[in-house]
Amino acid sequence: MSQSSGSSADGFETDRRVASSRSTLATEADGTYFNLLEPSSLVEAFIKDPPVGFTTLGIRSSDRVTPAFLTSFDLMTTLDPAVKRVLNPTLNSLGLGRFLKPRTLFVGTTVSEYLLYPSLGDSGAWIMDCLKQAEAEDVSFLILKDMPSNSPLLTPDENKKADDVRDQCRRAGFQVLAGQALAYVPIDFGSIDEYLQRLSSSRRKDIRRKLRKRSEVEVEAIPLGNSVFSDEAFVLRLFDLYLNVYRQSEIHFDQLSFPFLASVLRRCEGEGMVFVYRHRGKIIGFNLCFIHRNNLIDKTIGLVYPDARDLNLYFLSWFFNLEYAIRHGLKYYIAGWTDPEVKVSLGAKLSFTQHAVYLRNPVLRAGLRRLKRFFEMDQNWADPRRNRSRKGSPEETP
């Protein structure tokens, strides 16, 4: 993948910017919130311009405010695909779909990899404040989303606090469900060739075949806040590419808004970079990433179809990001939640999260205990004891 001479990735280090003003949502650096892998400016943008159909709010506990949001949650979102295929036609024919979208209070955000909560204070008291907020909002569900579970990406103190939060949730009557799988790659290799040697011979052969397209793709690295993002038409073009990926995804939960993307791209703070991919001068994709806590965090991708598929752009961008992380001495490449099978086949490891779910209706609460495994999609795929259709290791999947 060739580098555009206008803005090479090697110039990124000199273009990185640090926020000059104090953030309204303090970062983990000053010990206020745990689990924040991203710059706090990204969470602030989410609060100001939430996804379509979301209403953001803050849950006050002592002198801290935890980000949260309200939305009508489609209960089929994380249902096991095999079960979903059976249920969907029946529910739709009976007109019951609307009853499966209860008003729900989520604690957390969809732009932070993990659940955020105050680093200080009593976990039990914080959870009670969340329950009081759910009662005040008169929601059916309260969900503490993306709780880390012994994450290698967090500090020992953060993992210890997560264990305490989880224990306190169980004591308060929450059901703890397996959440999504966060893909990451430890950058403990010095080259892509060394990285590929860790994969099976069949996988290496397949990847090398796809990487042959790299000479046909140019990459331009543009730091956040660059004047190019003042061009409304350019930002709209990137947003359209994001929507292409969103619309073809099997899971539709949070559709980012144009004001959110424009705000993130135009802010100088946040240590972010947009990698723009072109083929013969035409934009065929982009990748929004952040560098924080010595990690490269892959947040959003946009693609043009069928061009991106024809040029294997998803795979090219994966290895471009790995090369960038190697060059800049980063510790981890954090590749996000979706498509764990594909990412594992590319050499990623998985860190599972958990969701703590509280149903205010005691009858439904009891039912969830019996049915929760059907909503643990990523865990069902990863656990051979649950997934009888899975053959061999993820690396061997087609």
| Domain ranges for the chain | 2-16+186-345, 28-181+352-396
For residues 113 and 244, what is the distance between their CA atoms, to the nearest angstrom? 22
Q: If pLDDT is split at 50, 70 and 90, which confidence band does 155 have? A: very high
* Arithmetic mean of pLDDT, 279-304: 96
**C-beta separation of 28 from 35 below 8 A:** yes
Name, in order, each residue with C-beta under 8 angstroms of 391's C-beta and a sequence gap of 6 or more: 397
- 22 vs 58, which has greater pLDDT? 58
Q: If pLDDT is split at 50, 70 and 90, which confidence band does 360 have? A: confident
Alpha-helical segments (H) within 21-175: 40-48, 81-93, 123-137, 156-171
Residue owning tokens 């190019």: 228
Alpha-helical segments (H) within the chain: 12-15, 40-48, 81-93, 123-137, 156-171, 192-196, 201-211, 232-248, 258-266, 307-310, 313-327, 340-345, 362-371, 377-382
pLDDT > 70 in the chain, percent: 76
Q: If pLDDT is split at 50, 70 and 90, which confidence band does 252 have? A: confident
In three-state secondary structure terms, 303 is strand
pLDDT at 383 over 80: no
Name, in order, each residue with C-beta under 8 angstroms of 130's C-beta and a sequence gap of 6 or more: 59, 61, 66, 68, 105, 107, 142, 144
Hey, what CATH class is 2-16+186-345 in?
alpha beta
* Arithmetic mean of pLDDT, 143-157: 95
CA nearest neighbour of 238 among 217, 223, 218, 258: 258
Residue owning tokens 């979102």: 77
Q: If pLDDT is split at 50, 70 and 90, which confidence band does 132 have? A: very high
For residues 190 and 329, what is the distance between their CA atoms, to the nearest angstrom? 10
Instruction: Quote the pLDDT of residue 381.
Output: 42
Which tens digits make up the pLDDT trace of 59-101? Answer: 998 778 999 999 998 776 666 666 666 666 666 665 555 557 8
Average pLDDT, the chain: 82
* Arithmetic mean of pLDDT, 345-370: 77
What values do phi and psi take at 124, rounded to 5?
-60, -40
For residues 338 and 340, what is the distance between their CA atoms, to the nearest angstrom? 6
Name, in order, each residue with C-beta under 8 angstroms of 107's C-beta and a sequence gap of 6 or more: 59, 66, 67, 68, 115, 117, 130, 142, 143, 144, 145
Q: If pLDDT is split at 50, 70 and 90, which confidence band does 343 have? A: very high
Element containing residue 251 per DSSP (H, E): none
Instruction: Quote the pLDDT of residue 391.
Output: 39
Name, in order, each residue with C-beta under 8 angstroms of 112's C-beta and a sequence gap of 6 or more: 35, 36, 37, 38, 42, 43, 46, 146
For residues 288 and 274, what is the distance between their CA atoms, to the nearest angstrom? 5
> Is the preceding peptide bond at 306 cis, omega within 30 degrees of 0?
yes
In three-state secondary structure terms, 349 is strand
